[in-house]
Amino acid sequence: MKHLLDPMDISVGEIDELLDLADNIIANPERYQEVCRHKKLATLFFEPSTRTRLSFEAAMHELGGDVIGFAGADNSSASKGESVADTVRTVECYADIIAMRHPKEGAATVASQNVDIPIINAGDGGHQHPTQTLTDLLTIRSLKGRLDHLTIGMCGDLKFGRTVHSLIRALSRYSNIKFVFISPKELKVPRYVKEDVLKNNENVTYVQYERLEEIISDLDILYMTRVQRERFFNEEDYIRLRDSYILDAEKMKLAKDDMIVMHPLPRVNEISVEVDKDPRAVYFKQALFGKYVRMALIMTMLGVNA
């Protein structure tokens, strides 16, 4: 793996190795605290994403490495009209690896074509965000003990949410996965995702529901996403359905004792704060797993070992 641009760039075998390494880091953090000494990660964030950037930076610091970079295009030469290619060619002189977030789709691909050091796509517009997918996979494997034989509910905006599409693609490579898509009809999983990934795939089955409370009791995992008011075509539908996509303590009573609730964050109001106390709510743990999987990824891409 030279660059990581798309979650599907990594084979199932490579994902296993990454997650195994992340497990090892979690178990023995002190073994890894100097492995990236004298290495530099450049975080090039052409649009703000505090959460992802801090996760990458914390990951590099915990490996003993250094971090350089910028947050926001206003603070970079992009504001002077410099191309992505020129920016990364310059940064290549100073850093060993780049994590890059850019508002335009395909920007990380352009970067990867112009440098010899590894590029990690930390989000390119609404296109790909592979380290979020790796975060989700590590969270599931760590907390459920497996990536197969799972019933996964995905709730909210399944049309525009790239996180959900990437996770569907990634999980569809494991056996006996049952997806339960819970969304208003305006925000269903797009047809192209179903045709590309779910059709003719004997590993996976899927069902679609409009209301979370109808099906929550069947789920091993509930992956929540935000439903934005402006995505609805009419106010009536929004009012009719909005409460169905808000997870609260009442709905949690219907769920299995060992179901886990995940969310890519930031949350707005789709998960009631009262759910945070429930041990099944793992979205903040998920953010922590995000740091560990990024540590494993940086090590793998730099070719360093403990």
Partner 1 sequence: MLSIDSVERGVVIDHIKAGKAMSIYNYLGLDKLDCAVAIIKNVKSNRMGKKDIIKIENEIETDLEMLGFIDPNITVNIIDGGKIIEKMNLTLPKRVVNIVKCKNPRCITSVEQELPHVFNLTDAERGIYRCAYCEQQAER
Beta-bridged to residue 70, according to DSSP, are 44
- In the complex, the smallest distance separating the C-beta of residue 83 from partner 1, rounded to whole angstroms, is 5
DSSP letter for 83, please.
-
Catalytic residue, chosen from 80, 191, 229, 277, is 80
Catalytic residue, chosen from 3, 102, 127, 129, is 129
Per-residue DSSP letters for 62-78? Answer: HTT-EEEEEESGGGSGG
- In the complex, the smallest distance separating the C-beta of residue 166 from partner 1, rounded to whole angstroms, is 12
Q: Whose Cβ is closer to partner 1: residue 29's or residue 126's?
A: 126
Q: Phi and psi dihedrals of 136, rounded to 5?
A: -65, -40
Q: Whose Cβ is closer to partner 1: residue 48's or residue 125's?
A: 125
Torsion angle of the four alpha carbons 135, 139, 145, 146, in this order, in degrees rounded to the nearest 10: -40
Catalytic residue, chosen from 3, 101, 127, 291, is 101
First to last CA, the chain: 19
- In the complex, the smallest distance separating the C-beta of residue 127 from partner 1, rounded to whole angstroms, is 6
Is residue 129 part of the annotated active site? The answer reads yes
Peptide bond into 264 cis (omega under 30): no
Q: Whose Cβ is closer to partner 1: residue 28's or residue 201's?
A: 201
- In the complex, the smallest distance separating the C-beta of residue 110 from partner 1, rounded to whole angstroms, is 6
Position of tokens 């390494």?
A: 21
Beta-bridged to residue 180, according to DSSP, are 153, 207
Catalytic residue, chosen from 43, 52, 87, 131, is 52
Binding site for partner 1 (CB under 8 A): 83-85, 102-107, 109-110, 124-127
Q: Whose Cβ is closer to partner 1: residue 127's or residue 141's?
A: 127
| Catalytic residue positions, numbered | 51-52, 80, 101, 129
